[in-house]
Amino acid sequence: MIDIEDALGTCPIVAILRGLEPERAEEIGQALFDAGIRVIEVPLNSPRPFESIASLARLLGDRAVIGAGTVLTDEDVRAVAAADGRLVVSPNTDTRVIDETKWCGLISMPGFFTPTEAFQALAAGADYLKLFPGDAIQPKIVGALRAVLPPDRGIVVTGGVGRDNIADFFAAGARAVAVGSSIFKPGKPVEQIGADAAALIAAWRDGVPH
Catalytic residues: 41, 130
Is the separation of the CB atoms in 166 and 204 below 8 Å?
Answer: yes
Burial class of 5 by CB neighbour count within 10 A (0 to 12, 13 to 18, 19+): middle
Residues 6+ positions from 44 with CB-CB distance below 8 Å: 68, 69, 70, 71, 72, 76
Q: What are phi and psi of 107, to 5 degrees?
A: -90, 130
Instruction: Give me the half-sphere count of Cα atoms (radius 13 Å) on the Cβ side of residue 89.
Output: 30
Q: Three-state SS for 41? A: strand
User: What length is written for the chain?
Assistant: 210
Neighbour count for residue 48 (Cβ, 10 Å): 14
